[in-house]
Structure 1
Amino acid sequence: MAPRSAVVCDDDPLLRCVLTRVIGPIGYEVCAEAESPSEALEVIDRVHADVVVLDLALRDGRGEDLLRHLVAERPETKVVVFSSHVGDLDGLLTAGATAVVEKPDFPALEVVLGDLAHGGSLRQDLRRPVARPIPALDPPDALSLSGLEPWASFRKAAEGMLSGDAVLALDLIPTASDSGSWDHVLRTDHRLALARCAASVRRDQDRVSLSPDGVPLLLAVASHPEAPEAVFCRIREVWAREVDRGTPVGVYGHVRKGMPAGTMLDHAVEAVLFDEPTPDHPLRMI
């Protein structure tokens, strides 16, 4: 069966990249991306999309208005709302949304799109978002003065993460004035300061620690209400306000079904150490 065509509408380029990688293997060819309603309408008409994955917070417009326009003008196109700004769920379904999935529940999105790809219709129980459970993780063995937990209990917590939870690894690019003396002392001290920034923005169920290599790591447990890049932005805001020395960079990945969370930890640490993001592209996904 030929892949079904899809258009991804989201104002965040990183998330559009994530969505393209997630939905490709389940029977879709992402023919185009869009960040605004006007751009979306142009590309949807051009590629005759079977499915539109739609965020509600778009540049220069509202996703709700685009939804209603598509339902009226292109009723054959299925519109799956994928947004962290879901308010009137019943209103979205009444307006014609095929399904509503709350960000960043990528596993639920895969189920919805997989059902559409292979059956052409959608089971009624998949139309509404289902709250993902918070995994029953043991509390940290202890916390440091900076709010970090020991590596052993952090690693154990990682093994209990569920599909869709996220791992964010952080590092720092030194300033030009620091680079000449950037030894293990400065590197360690700056990484610890960066880990403290991560600890300051985490929720109760999230975990923060340092890898044996000294890399700051954050586990975003049970669908952080915003994508990992938004968490990274908050960490950078705290860093700029409280430290403002060097450039924080990061690598993140979502735990996928069948993947040990420890594997994602190792991949993230390796990527941020040996394939570092750059100041122009400070965050990337693996």
Structure 2
Amino acid sequence: MSISNDQGSLQDRLHAEMIDNLDEEIEMELDDERLAGLVDQATDPESETLARKQYFTELLRLQRELVKLQDWVVHSKLKIMVLFEGRDAAGKGGVIKRITQRLNPRVCRTVALSAPTERERTQWYFQRYVAHLPAAGEIVLFDRSWYNRAGVERVMGFCSDAEAEEFFRTVPEFERMLVRSGITLIKYWFSITDSEQHQRFLMRIHDPLKQWKLSPMDLESRRRWEDYTAAKEEMLARTHIPEAPWWVIEGVDKKRARLNCIHHFLQQVPYQEVPHDPVILPPREHKPNYARTPVPKEMHVPTIY
């Protein structure tokens, strides 16, 4: 492929990424009425525009179901934990964002731990994760988890072979303990191709708003693609257990990956719609002696826009 074709392909991908970023803003503001208007505007059945509307339609439907699931989790005092694993730029964060987008952060929270401290390195390996396990009525989403040991720590030499082997011996029993304690444990691996990760890294390099997502560790992981592949294959083979199986999400098409993951997640937890009493706004009280204290002008933020 010529250099000009490579540059044209990159420009096309950057344009698609820009559209996807715009879609994120639309997603946050979308409701049924606005959505209907957007769908009505689509006229070409083969156009990208209609495909985006179909994506919005299905995403909103699934998010309404997530709200029902949230209500059921609280009502039934369930404990749900979901692990999101995959290569850098595989799309884990995008799915997590869509799951939590319309949920109560007191019910559904995300855990994304940084590298362990010196003290944490001396603890039992799973100890720092245990502190974030769900209580009754909670959904916890782990943006990477204890499987760091089977992936980045192992490939980058941050743990010894003996420590990695002990992890593989321990993790099945650890997860069985979690399930026996009443936690519903769901594990997702987001799979992308070598070329797709290459393209996504290039897009992050050329997008000033996303360059922060590329750490030196990410760049090194790109160089060691094959080492990570071998580590992933062993991880899936040795930790795919009946009590907590792995589920692989094909992540090359980000929008399909999001919808497929959310749809599958909803199937893993049998739930029902929880009836709620109608919400009635009470009349506002008016007290004859009430007088609003004016706010000093110097406390106001300047009206620049």
Q: Provide the TM-score with structure 2 as the length reference.
A: 0.25
Q: Provide the TM-score with structure 1 as the length reference.
A: 0.26
More helix by share: 2
Larger radius of gyration: 2
More strand by share: 1
